Amino acid sequence: MDKKKILIVDDDARNIFALTAVLKSRSYDCVSCQSALEALEMLKTDGKIDFILMDMMMPEMDGYEAIPQIRKIPSHAKTPIISVTAQAMLGDREKSLNAGADEYISKPVDIDKLLQVLDKL
């Protein structure tokens, strides 16, 4: 079985490090970038991303802006996107789903919940 490849987009290197460590230990292949703009460029050239973990609050371009742009890339129009946010406020889940995310998880990330979501998608 091929390893599933996850793109982690987060402007905080500590979050990338923690998620990568856990996901790699569960046999996922992880790549990362620290901005939505960088993620868009990467996704235009890499059609082998199976999942995207998108931080919703980033400078320059946030996840709410980035997700609709990702959906315009033909090779990633249907790639499962999980929005991740530290500012879990009422309505954030709906706002994320309306932007085009497939699922929503709040920080700090509950790894068991994340793994359940990945299995479901």
11-31, pLDDT tens digit by residue?
999 999 999 999 999 999 999
How far apart CA 36 and CA 100 sit, in angstroms, is 15
Residue 63's identity, in one-letter code, is: G
Architecture of domain 5-120: 3-Layer(aba) Sandwich (3.40)
Q: Where are the domains of the chain?
A: 5-120
How far apart CA 81 and CA 41 sit, in angstroms, is 16
Its pTM surpasses 0.85: yes
At 1, the pLDDT band (50, 70, 90 cuts) reads low
pLDDT tens column, 36-77: 999 999 999 988 999 999 999 998 999 999 999 999 999 999
